[in-house]
Amino acid sequence: MKIRLKELSKIGYINNVSRSLAMSIISKHCKRDTKETIIRVLEQIRKTPQAFIGNEVWGKLAEHFCPPSETKTFTAYELHEKALAFKTYGGKYIEPIAKQQMELAMRLPVSMAGALMADAHAGYGLPIGGVLAVERAVIPYAVGVDIGCRMELSIFDEMSAFLNRYAYQIKQALKENTHFGMEGGIGFSQRHNILERSEFQTDAFMKNLHGKAIRQLGSSGGGNHFVEFGELELVEENTLDLPAGRYTALLSHSGSRGLGTEIARHYSEIARERCRLPREAGHFAWLDMDSEAGQAYWMSMNLAGDYAKACHECIHRNLAKALGLNIMKTIGNHHNFAWKELLSDGREAIVHRKGATPAHTGEHGIIPGSMTTSGYLVTGCGRSESLSSASHGAGRAMSRQRAKENFTQSALKKMLASANVQLIGGSVEEAPLAYKNIDRVMDFQKELITIQGKFMPRIVRMNKE
């Protein structure tokens, strides 16, 4: 009379839970029933489980096959017919689709103000280079998938002559102390107090990502992410209280790795379930800041931003140690994030900067160019029309696919040689001419920032070695 697992599988009991429940009930309640009778009942439960709900013997098994349906509540929203006005910088050099995406964002019923930076180009939902202030809501896709993607600059107590004298050692240190790409991490364990944060234990979703955070700590993403040594020329009377001169400096660009990606995907799905928008605006689905999901995303977003900062700290610490360098100053800023801020009229808003640098009065920021052009250390001027923001870089002039079609590896090598830049890894997708003219971008935002220093890359490490 023994019923085997294979027999249960044949009648539709194909997972461990259903088979375990069935075997437990059979052993406890069916000792006097024939095998044929038991099989017949099991088949009936599988076909019409609703008929056995509440049954003293078979009720739990029936519930397994027809779990209570969850009522998913959502709210449907219409877009405003007319977009709110927003300031555009360098509009002549911004592709129409990026402007259209910004206009669509300004038709959201939660939108309060916006601006489009001079490096803007098309993105998903909010364009790259878009700044959007909304009322009591947070939009996961307006933050971006790479939450907390940021720049970090360390200035060392060595002048720029160090770069030529120790070029070989710098290249070896970059190869041994950095890791790029979607998977894996650097070849030795990292320690940082970010891994001890309570959010990893108190939030079930974040707890599942703790292992990934451990593995990827101190590593960088692919695409346009980089770690590079270069020459930083500080201006007279700069705000860093350092003498003017040409310093050896380390600049890195990366974000929150797989941690941020998983957070973005998870909460974007929740937002789209609860906030129904017209098809063309689907990526703008938001989470109410007063909701449990909104607060959970806000907590996770901030943790991801702190994790991104921790990755940069590990990179800079490891490289400084490997080369025997002392860090005098470190400056960093997010450019994929959301902040609670007051607008110029005193209203509180959630300000999303997707590929834009915070530029409040006196706030330091870093605006890079390409692998062969200058980047800039700046302070913000706090201009209300830009929502205290500036560009996050030069911005792409062409897509990665177009760059692959237009440039060759040999052409890239010639560009690097003429600029006296050495590249480890990298690809034609990131060729300098795939980016806009950084000096033109800076010219369009002269009233937004004050230049404190100019960084020129010399030894650059990117993905795809």
Strand 150-159 and strand 327-334: the pairing is antiparallel
pLDDT for the residue 15: 83
pLDDT for the residue numbered 277: 97
Residue 185 has pLDDT above 90, yes or no: no
Cross-strand bridge partners of residue 288? 137
Cα angle at 84 between 78 and 85, to 5 degrees? 160
pLDDT digit string, tens, across residues 206-248: 999 999 999 999 999 999 999 999 999 999 999 999 999 999 9
Amino acid making up residue 210:
H
Of 213, 188, 377, which is closest to residue 305 (Cα–Cα)?
Answer: 213
DSSP 8-state assignment for residue 147: T
Say if residue 428's pLDDT is above 90: yes
Percent of the chain having pLDDT more than 70?
98
Residue 465 has pLDDT above 60, yes or no: no
- Kindly list the structural domains of the chain, giving each domain's residue range(s) and its CATH number in brackets, ordered by start: 5-65 (no CATH), 150-254+309-329+358-461 (3.90.1860.10)
Q: What is the pLDDT of residue 103?
A: 98
Token pair of 399, please?
A: 């897509």
Whether the per-residue pLDDT at 362 is higher than 80: the answer is yes
Q: Any long-range contacts for 57-62 (C-beta under 8 Å, 24+ apart)? A: 57/25, 57/29, 58/25, 60/21, 60/25, 61/18, 61/21, 61/22, 61/25
Candidate from 12-26, 197-211, 397-411 with smallest mean pLDDT? 12-26
Contact 201, 302 (CB under 8 A): no
Instruction: Give the DSSP H or E segment for 154.
Output: strand 150-159
Which amino acid, 212? Answer: K
| Confidence at residue 16, expressed as pLDDT on a 0 to 100 scale | 81
Give dist(CA 17, CA 36) in Å, integer.
22
Return the higher-pLDDT residue of 456 and 7. Answer: 456
Using the structure block, give the residue that is written with the tokens 């205290």: 388
- The pLDDT of residue 69: 59
pLDDT tens digits along 363-380? 999 999 999 999 999 999
* Average per-residue pLDDT for the chain: 94
Taking Cα atoms as reference points, which of 141, 91, 127 lies closest to residue 356?
127
Question: What is the predicted pLDDT for the residue at 1?
Answer: 53
What stretches of 166-278 show up as alpha helix (H) in DSSP?
A: 167-177, 199-202, 204-208, 210-216, 257-274
CA distances from 271 to 79, 124, 235, 295, 351 (A): 16, 15, 46, 12, 18
Q: Is pLDDT above 80 for 122?
A: yes
* Confidence at residue 189, expressed as pLDDT on a 0 to 100 scale: 85
What pLDDT is recorded for position 72?
66
pLDDT tens readout for residues 154-179: 999 999 999 999 999 999 999 999 99
pLDDT of residue 68: 65
Instruction: Quote the percentage of the chain above a pLDDT of 90.
Output: 82
Q: What is the pLDDT of residue 266?
A: 94
> Is pLDDT at 331 greater than 60 in this prediction?
yes
How far apart are the C-alpha atoms of 305 and 332, rounded to whole Å?
12
Report whether 229 contacts 168 (CB < 8 A). Answer: no
Q: Which segment of 26-30, 279-283, 392-396 scores lowest on mean pLDDT?
A: 26-30
Q: What is the pLDDT of residue 70?
A: 54
pLDDT of residue 71: 58
Query: How sure is the predictor about 197, in pLDDT bands with cuts at 50, 70 and 90?
Result: very high
